[in-house]
A and B are shown apart, each in its own frame.
Chain A
Amino acid sequence: MSNYHTKTVTELSAMLQAGEVSSVELTRFFLDRIKSSDDKLNSFITVCEEEALAQAKESDEKLKAGNAPALTGVPIAHKDIFCTNGVKTSCGSKMLDNFISPYDATVVTNMRNAGVVMLGKTNMDEFAMGSSNETSYYGAVKNPWNLKAVPGGSSGGSAAAVGARLAPASTGTDTGGSIRQPAAFCGITGLKPTYGRVSRFGMIAFASSLDQAGPMAQSASDCALLLNAMAGFDEKDSTSIEKEVPDYSADLDKPLDGLRIGLPKEYFAHSEGGMDAEVEAAIKTALDQYKAMGAELIEIELPNSGISVPVYYVVAPAECSTNLSRFDGVRYGYRCEDPKDLNDLYTRSRGEAFGAEVQRRIMVGTYALSSGYYDAYYLKAQQLRHLISDDFTRAYEKVDVIMAPATPETAFNIGEKTDDPISMYLSDIYTIAVNLAGIPAMSIPVGFVNGMPVGMQIMGNHFEEAKLLNVAHKYQQATDWHTRLPEEFK
């Protein structure tokens, strides 16, 4: 029995290039793994067996011909938020259950150009609105480390699939923590790049000023390879940044001597809803490791971080209510039966096809943007967003990176927070400020509490993804948390 699932993208890519394995063999291996194990996890919405094998065959020809790009033939999964030409793109919603995208997202195009094979589309919270993957129309995803626990969200299917090694890597998106929180819960490495670094074209919009796509993988060096393929200017995305893409793999091994690590005292404060003591212990052990590698730990202040969750729950719903107004039952997606007039068609199609959390957020956003309330909500939130962003700017004058927990606790149980949206929202308490400021951040596995993975967050200044990857990679060279596999998926 082969053990390809224990190999990283970096290793698989080297094996493919050396001709030690064919892409068809690898792709079959992972398709079989999905077939035999995904009924436990529900991490995929669509598996693209035929397309994947055709792409794999093509990849093998390119590899044989020589000069194939680094990721040629590596099978990966895409979050079902990315439009994929000819393949169902549901965004986890009944609204798009019948939607076969007529075009590819730029991320999908870029990855294909880099040579990757698409295994399928992963489960997610409906329209990326959720922190547990329980709002999906296709049912909850289970955490590979404990099938009673959530994998996190909204990129929960991606995190569970990579955590269980049903795919060597996946794409994800992060609006308030949707890459980092599930990465932490499933013991994998996830990176949310700087806002504008990766194109949003064809990535179904939730909150346009916050959404950003990124890689979810087994290691920082894998994330570097994947980001190399994903990132870049795209004229089809009006907020895409025209800035050269560095080689994210180039600086991975740079020594960390003299690295200044900021520890925000607000994130480490012992308050209600704050960090679990055992999570804190795991984080402290990781910080000691960094100290041993030559880094300096400096306490810093992010005084407005406490306000980030309230600010997010104005900005994100407001933008979501605007973005989701496009789903009208006319041009694509769900349409209700026998509409009696046009208004009935709109309201019933939307009412029947959107789940409760999506409807809640649309209504909060509609309220916040409605006449007479705009200044008190959206404008106020945008002002506070500036203060939150300024906190980070000041901090990066003193430190190179900021470290903090990714989540206050390890993965909670399925059903535990579904009746209380607020407690669900607060599970993103440490990740949201990053999106409001538009900076890049990662989550890396740094230990376990009661058998469940703990994630540590590493935040960087705008466009410093290479530094984050370097900082994460050095830790992963010295530790083996990121190589651990759940017993059931070994």
Chain B
Amino acid sequence: MSIEVDEVKKIAKLACLNVEEADVQAYATNLSNILDLVAQMNAVDTTGVTPMSHPFDAVQRLREDVVTETDRREDFQAIAPKTEDGLYLVPKVIE
């Protein structure tokens, strides 16, 4: 399995990662090697095998739809990069 440079750029975009041009080739080589390792999976026939998403095939537990959290906005925003009047600030999205 070989991943080309263009494909690395596409994956990086999907993953919201800014990859430096100088590093793209190294990622292409490494990702190709990893996918070669992963391709060993194809040696085993899994027709009809149920996929296992949880070690106990359990389902997610649900809780009552009630308020359990206290308002700690100030604590949480104290560690944010940029806030104003209780809002998180990001660059302008809509012109």
Instruction: Please report A residues at the B interface, Cβ cutoff 8 Å.
Output: 98-100, 102, 194-196, 209, 235, 238-239, 241, 304, 307, 309-311, 313-314, 321, 325, 328-335, 339-348, 350-352, 354, 356, 359-360, 362-364, 366-368, 370, 377, 379-387, 389, 421-422, 425, 437-439, 462
Contacts and interface: CB of A to CB of B under 8 A. Distances in A.
Interface size bracket, B side = 35 or more
Interface in B14-44: 14-20, 23, 27, 30-31, 33-35, 37-44
B91 A341 contact: yes
Given A239-B54, A367-B31, A383-B51, A359 B19 contact: yes
Given A351-B18, A387-B44, A360 B30 contact: yes
Contacts of A389: 52, 55
A383 B58 CA distance: 16
Given A330-B90, A341-B91, A421-B30, 5 more contacts: A235-B63, A341-B93, A351-B19, A360-B31, A382-B51
11 contacts: A99-B79, A100-B79, A102-B75, A313-B37, A342-B93, A351-B18, A351-B20, A382-B51, A384-B41, A385-B52, A421-B30
Contact of B37 (A309, A328, A367): A309
A423 to B, nearest CB: 10
A359 B75 CA distance: 30
A438 B44 CA distance: 21
B27 A359 contact: yes
A333 B42 CA distance: 39
Contacts of A238: 60-61
Main secondary structure of the interface of B (DSSP, over half): loop
Given A102-B75, A342-B90, A387 B15 contact: no
A376 to B, nearest CB: 8
Contacts of A438: 54-56
A204 B46 CA distance: 33
Given A379-B51, A383-B46, A310 B80 contact: no
Contact of A330 (B3, B15, B80): B80
Given A99-B79, A310-B41, A363-B31, A347 B17 contact: yes
B18 A350 contact: yes
B33 A362 contact: no
A380 B81 CA distance: 40
A462 B58 CA distance: 14
B55 A209 contact: yes
A379 B47 CA distance: 11
A436 B33 CA distance: 22
A386 B50 contact: yes
Nearest to A333: B81
Contact of B52 (A368, A386, A421): A386
B17 A351 contact: yes
Contacts of B93: 341-342
Contact of A364 (B17, B35, B43): B35
Given A363-B31, A386-B51, A331 B16 contact: no
Nearest to B60: A238
Contacts, number: 164
Given A239-B60, A421-B34, A384 B16 contact: no
Contact of A314 (B23, B41, B49, B58): B41
Nearest to A382: B51
B31 A102 contact: no
B15 to A, nearest CB: 4
B11 A367 contact: yes
B17 A359 contact: yes
B8 A363 contact: yes
Nearest to B83: A331
A201 to B, nearest CB: 13
B80 to A, nearest CB: 5
Contact of B72 (A102, A346, A347, A437): A102
Nearest to A241: B56
Contact of B81 (A194, A335, A354): A335
B51 A354 contact: no
Contacts of B88: 330-331
A115 B78 CA distance: 29
Contacts of B53: 209, 382
Contacts of A379: 51
Contact of A380 (B11, B41, B50, B72): B41
